[in-house]
Amino acid sequence: MKILVMGAGKMGSFFLDLLSFDHETAVYEKDPRRMRFTYNCQRLTALEEVRAFAPELVINAVTVKFTIPAFEEVLPFLPADCIVSDISSVKTGLKAFYGQCGHPYVSTHPMFGPTFANLQQLSEENAIIISEGDYMGRIFFKDLYQRLGLSIYEYTFEEHDRTVAYSLSIPFVSTFVFAAVMKHQDAPGTTFKRHMKIAKGVLNEDDYLLQEILFNPYTSEQVARIRNELTSLLDIIDRKDASGMKAYLGRIRSNVKADIEAMRG
């Protein structure tokens, strides 16, 4: 298959490396300097070169802020039957865009990224495939993700957004709160250092990505849950309620245990 990857960032380069030995691949990137570490693929910097390449599948791996604008720029240069796809963690506006773009489409979300994941060992990571896309496009990505050892889940666009609101907004907001109240420690403990490492990784993400995840329409209710839990915990602390603390710790340990058992199952 002839596959065009848009964007030569970390995820774009990852997909190029993954696909280039089994498919004819090309990368479209306006900044030639970003393509210096791409191999075994054609390097395209002009839209007419995209037309000449005539891809059968496009994987849009540009920054989330530019996902739809990048599609709009390249669509006139694609064959009519070319499948267009994205790997964006934020799907805002994509369902409506795909509905009027005139191309078959598939939307997926590899639930890992270059900040924390080991891209060479992904057997404990997950991927979401949006069930509303083109059948053959979904099969292509399902086979690809299975070869990586990923656990695959099929959701609608709405189900995806609800899942992201839970799985990303809760840890992100918790990290923001830690970063907001932390002070420099000359002799930090292990837990502090681990939280600091996570905070640095999250805060290295693109501002627009963080904004769009938190502006997800389903995020507010998740953040409200954090607020409620903090209120409950602060009440226990203020009252020095030993039995209340024991019950609280028992409840959250049960939550963690249930999650671990669900992953094993």
CB atoms within 10 A of CB 144: 18
- For the ranges 115-129, 135-149, 212-226, 240-254, the lowest mean pLDDT is seen at 115-129
The pLDDT, as a whole number, for residue 119 is 60
Residue 64 carries which DSSP code?
Answer: G
pLDDT average, residue stretch 218-240: 94
The pLDDT, as a whole number, for residue 265 is 61
The neighbouring-strand residues paired with 110 are: 127
pLDDT in tens, 3-54: 999 998 888 999 999 999 999 999 999 888 888 778 889 999 999 999 999 9
Distance CA 132, CA 265 (A): 27
pLDDT in tens, 138-184: 999 999 999 999 999 999 999 998 988 888 889 999 999 999 998 88
**CA gyration radius, the chain:** 21
Instruction: Name the burial class of residue 87, with classes exposed (0-12), middle (13-18) and buried (19+) by CB atoms within 10 angstroms of its CB.
Output: buried
The pLDDT, as a whole number, for residue 118 is 61
The pLDDT, as a whole number, for residue 36 is 79
Q: Three-class SS of residue 136? A: helix
In the structure, what pLDDT confidence band is assigned to residue 209 with cuts at 50, 70 and 90?
A: confident
Cite the beta strand spans of 29-125 per DSSP E: 42-44, 57-60, 83-86, 105-110
Q: Three-class SS of residue 42? A: strand
In the structure, what pLDDT confidence band is assigned to residue 263 with cuts at 50, 70 and 90?
A: low
CA 205 vs CA 5, 63, 174: distances in Å = 21, 10, 15
The pLDDT, as a whole number, for residue 264 is 66
- Continuous segment of H or E residues that includes residue 9: none
Nearest in space to 128 (alpha carbons), one of 169, 166, 89, 84: 89
- Continuous segment of H or E residues that includes residue 10: helix 10-19
Nearest in space to 108 (alpha carbons), one of 145, 69, 63, 75: 145
pLDDT beyond 70 at 91: yes
59 close to 5: Cβ distance less than 8 angstroms: yes
The pLDDT, as a whole number, for residue 141 is 97
pLDDT beyond 70 at 113: no
pLDDT average, residue stretch 71-92: 95
The pLDDT, as a whole number, for residue 120 is 65
CA 58 vs CA 7, 27, 64, 168: distances in Å = 11, 10, 16, 26
- Angle of helix 169-181 relative to helix 190-203, nearest 10 degrees, comes to 110
The pLDDT, as a whole number, for residue 212 is 82
The pLDDT, as a whole number, for residue 136 is 95
In the structure, what pLDDT confidence band is assigned to residue 206 with cuts at 50, 70 and 90?
A: confident
Q: Three-class SS of residue 24? A: strand
Count of alpha carbons within 13 angstroms of residue 82, beta-carbon side:
25
